[in-house]
Amino acid sequence: MRSVLLFFLFVAGPTILRPVLGAINWSEPGRMEAVEDRLTLTAEEASIDLVALRRALPRGGEKLLRGEPFTLLAIGDSVTATGPYPEILAGLLTRATVTASIRVERAAFAGRSVDAAVRRWERDIAPAGADLALILFGLNDQAAGSPLAAYLEQTRWLVERLRAQGADVVLLEPTPHINITPLPTDKAPPPPEASIFRTVVFAAALRELGRELDAPVAPTFDAIWGEGGADLQAAARAMWPLFPAHYSKPFTTLVETGGRGDTIHPNAAGHARIARAVFDTIGGRAPAPALQVTAMTEGGADGRLVSRLRLKNASGRARAGSLALYPFTQDERHERLGYALDIGETGELVFVWPETARPGLFLHLQAVDYHGDGSRAFAFAAPLRPDARWLRERVVVAAPRAVARFETGGGVRETTVAWPEDSELGRVPISETIASGEGSLGLGAELAYVRFAAAASGDIEADGDLAEWVGARWVPVGEPVQARWTRGPADHRAERRECYLHWAFRAGRDGVGVAFRATGEIERDTFTLYFDPRPSDELGTVGPYFWIDGRLRDDGLLALRAGDSSPSGVPGLTGRWRRIGPGEFEGELFVPYALMGADAWPAGGDLGASIVWAHRHADDRVTRLMWAENGHPWNTRWFGVVRRDPEGPLPWRVRVE
């Protein structure tokens, strides 16, 4: 099957069509024709298998074929916001079905990750009334250190709600990021592995989720990667025609600039490839990889992980090449193993993981398959055998002990973990050993507990004077176990007093009062408060949330800004702070319920909440102190809980990670 040929627009020179992106309306008459006229498809490629279409779009396929009004909603980040793949897809579907009447809508914003689509569901997605939803996230999720589990949980949440509205869903793999061409000013350029295929584990996990949900997954990473190259630099150069000098110039290419420019947002040509990959997926014609790889992982005699790879040549010719295997994301360490397979032949390779590798919830290998002058980057699951894992659970306990459960093929083992009754929060390492392969493996996890916070009923005046907080119950934010970020523990303080805070809450008539006391020099610090006002039985599950960003102004005011999921124009968000002694501060703020999409404290008595305080050191390093988080705050699964006017001792929220 021939690839879509777009062109090329740069044949006419670099002065051709360079509109500012904000002025581009890809739906306006003539705009898409400017792109589609450069698409060269055979009659077979422009057609679609109607049986496959009905299978891919079981809810709206017939509506599309009958020519009824049909809404295609593209949900995503800046890749979706800056280019025309949704309109090109609509054109391909219209051409193939003849009768289709397709309207394209977008819910896509620069810098967003999938959690943004979840938290802005009611504003951006639900009202669109999609018949077909395309979901493309991953570039920002991976870059921000969002856990893979969170990415999958939130994608699942979107799929389930879109389907409940009657929409079909196609998932799109995140695309390559090709900023690997060294510049003359680069003193120590990062290795190409740091970006060019950094999203392939997210893409592989997305394919696994798609199979579980019976949702089509379009190979859009492969569509942009194309034939690749003999090395990563050659692969990047081969993709230059698919990326622009700047995303506002979608009809330019990096060929014109020697590789300098926008290396993350495909141009019009790249979007044509994305659209074609989705079109072929809907039509049941997405190509299968020429080299198919599966794997399983066991323990070696020395306790290291050993993955046994099974390769199959699914192409129509003999195939020889090598697999470069990368166990860690954005890390250049790898091993290159050769293979040679006849048509349909299978073979086996063995990869021994580095000593620092540990089995976790998700075990994937990244690979670059080099063959001839080409390559393909991808990732694949390498599940542990025997299948064993700690169950990721969240529970609430009234006594200072909880049960962690470990699941194996032989059943579930339970471990009871206890902590002192006066302990507000903590983390307890837990481990189980299993026989695996030629040896045994220790599977570690962590049980984290944090006591609920309390909020007494009553209004405050956010003037920075904490006299009305006498008798409040304060929660600590500054313990060493609370100093974390996306890669785990990260505490740059020489001692706790460099930055240590206590926080308290009030449940007012019109909003939440929040107060803090702090030690250390905090004038350059920032903080974020997260809120989940859903009913108590939904706390700890994926869902929308709201947040407030804050910093200390020189005039004693708190500079406060509501996040993008809050309604705009809500008055009343205010706060003040003051120094009360050398290295001692206090402050308070008022957060209207309206900024949480609510009009009162949750009726069930519990409010989901999280606190992240970012302390900037003199050398500009940052220590992030997190009240109830595990290193990344963009998922309500791990928020803490504030209980209004509690009676009796407060319980603990416990999770196993």
Rounded to whole angstroms, the Cα distance separating 329 from 29 reads 44
Per-residue confidence (pLDDT) for residue 15, from 0 to 100? 24
Read off the pLDDT of residues 177-198 as tens digits, 9 standing for 90 and up: 999 987 777 777 788 999 999 9
DSSP assignment, residue 506?
E
Per-residue confidence (pLDDT) for residue 454, from 0 to 100? 98
pLDDT higher than threshold 90 for residue 134:
yes
Domain that holds residue 320: 291-381
Per-residue confidence (pLDDT) for residue 5, from 0 to 100? 29
Read off the pLDDT of residues 110-120 as tens digits, 9 standing for 90 and up: 999 999 999 99
Q: 320: domain CATH number?
A: 2.60.40.10
Read off the pLDDT of residues 14-29 as tens digits, 9 standing for 90 and up: 222 222 333 356 555 5
Those residues whose C-beta lies under 8 Å from the C-beta of residue 13, and which sit 6 or more positions away, are none
pLDDT higher than threshold 90 for residue 350:
yes
Pairing of strands 374-381, 388-390: unpaired
9 pLDDT tier (thresholds 50, 70, 90): very low
Out of 282, 299, 317, a domain closes at 282
Both tokens assigned to 103: 């309207």
Rounded to whole angstroms, the Cα distance separating 95 from 580 reads 71
Q: What is the DSSP track for 451-473?
A: EPEEEEE-----SS-GGGGTT--
Per-residue confidence (pLDDT) for residue 23, from 0 to 100? 37
Q: Looking at the structure, do residues 537 and 438 belong to the same domain, yes or no?
A: no
Domains identified in the chain, total number: 4
- The interaxial angle of helices 268-282 and 85-97, nearest 10 deg, is 40
Per-residue confidence (pLDDT) for residue 39, from 0 to 100? 58
Inside any domain, residue 46: yes
Rounded to whole angstroms, the Cα distance separating 307 from 296 reads 6
Query: What pTM, to 2 d.p., does this model score?
Result: 0.92
Read off the pLDDT of residues 365-391 as tens digits, 9 standing for 90 and up: 999 999 999 999 999 999 999 999 999
Out of 282, 317, 349, a domain closes at 282
Return mean pLDDT, the chain.
Answer: 91
Inside any domain, residue 423: yes
Inside any domain, residue 334: yes
DSSP assignment, residue 124?
I
Q: Looking at the structure, do residues 19 and 144 belong to the same domain, yes or no?
A: yes
Q: Give 47 or 26, the one with higher predicted confidence.
A: 47
DSSP assignment, residue 121?
I
Q: Looking at the structure, do residues 556 and 462 belong to the same domain, yes or no?
A: yes
Q: Looking at the structure, do residues 422 and 459 belong to the same domain, yes or no?
A: no
CB atoms within 10 A of CB 644: 18
Q: Average pLDDT of 52-61?
A: 96
Per-residue confidence (pLDDT) for residue 314, from 0 to 100? 96
Enumerate the β-bridge partners of residue 502: 476, 517
Read off the pLDDT of residues 446-488 as tens digits, 9 standing for 90 and up: 999 999 999 999 999 999 999 999 999 999 999 999 999 988 9
Q: Looking at the structure, do residues 437 and 461 belong to the same domain, yes or no?
A: no
| Least confidently predicted of 4-8, 23-27, 589-593, 606-610 | 4-8
Q: Average pLDDT of 596-615?
A: 97
Per-residue confidence (pLDDT) for residue 7, from 0 to 100? 28
For tokens 């804050």, name the residue.
Answer: 550
Out of 346, 362, 381, a domain closes at 381
Q: 36: domain CATH number?
A: 3.40.50.1110
Rounded to whole angstroms, the Cα distance separating 383 from 325 reads 16
Q: Give 16 or 611, the one with higher predicted confidence.
A: 611
Is residue 224 within 8 A of residue 242, CB to CB? The reply is yes
Per-residue confidence (pLDDT) for residue 27, from 0 to 100? 56
Per-residue confidence (pLDDT) for residue 362, from 0 to 100? 84
Inside any domain, residue 139: yes
Rounded to whole angstroms, the Cα distance separating 312 from 4 reads 27
Q: Looking at the structure, do residues 437 and 469 belong to the same domain, yes or no?
A: no
Q: Looking at the structure, do residues 299 and 348 belong to the same domain, yes or no?
A: yes
Q: Looking at the structure, do residues 203 and 319 belong to the same domain, yes or no?
A: no
Inside any domain, residue 64: yes
Q: Looking at the structure, do residues 311 and 275 belong to the same domain, yes or no?
A: no
Q: Average pLDDT of 517-522?
A: 96
Inside any domain, residue 13: yes
Q: Average pLDDT of 550-573?
A: 96
Per-residue confidence (pLDDT) for residue 37, from 0 to 100? 53
Q: Average pLDDT of 511-527?
A: 97
| Least confidently predicted of 226-230, 241-245, 353-357 | 353-357
pLDDT higher than threshold 80 for residue 264:
yes
36 pLDDT tier (thresholds 50, 70, 90): low
Q: Average pLDDT of 37-66?
A: 85
Rounded to whole angstroms, the Cα distance separating 392 from 9 reads 51
Q: Give 332 or 34, the one with higher predicted confidence.
A: 332
Question: How would you list the strands of the sheet with 101-108, edge to edge?
Answer: 101-108, 69-76, 132-136, 168-172, 217-218
Q: Average pLDDT of 61-81?
A: 96
Q: How large a percentage of the chain has pLDDT more than 90?
A: 85
Using only the alpha carbons of the chain, give its radius of gyration: 27
Q: Looking at the structure, do residues 399 and 298 belong to the same domain, yes or no?
A: no
Q: Average pLDDT of 75-104?
A: 94
Q: Looking at the structure, do residues 398 and 458 belong to the same domain, yes or no?
A: no
Q: Looking at the structure, do residues 507 and 638 belong to the same domain, yes or no?
A: yes
46 pLDDT tier (thresholds 50, 70, 90): confident
Inside any domain, residue 185: no
Per-residue confidence (pLDDT) for residue 38, from 0 to 100? 53
Q: What is the DSSP track for 542-575?
A: S---EEEEEEE-TTSBEEEEE-TTSPTT----EE
Read off the pLDDT of residues 219-234 as tens digits, 9 standing for 90 and up: 999 999 999 999 999 9
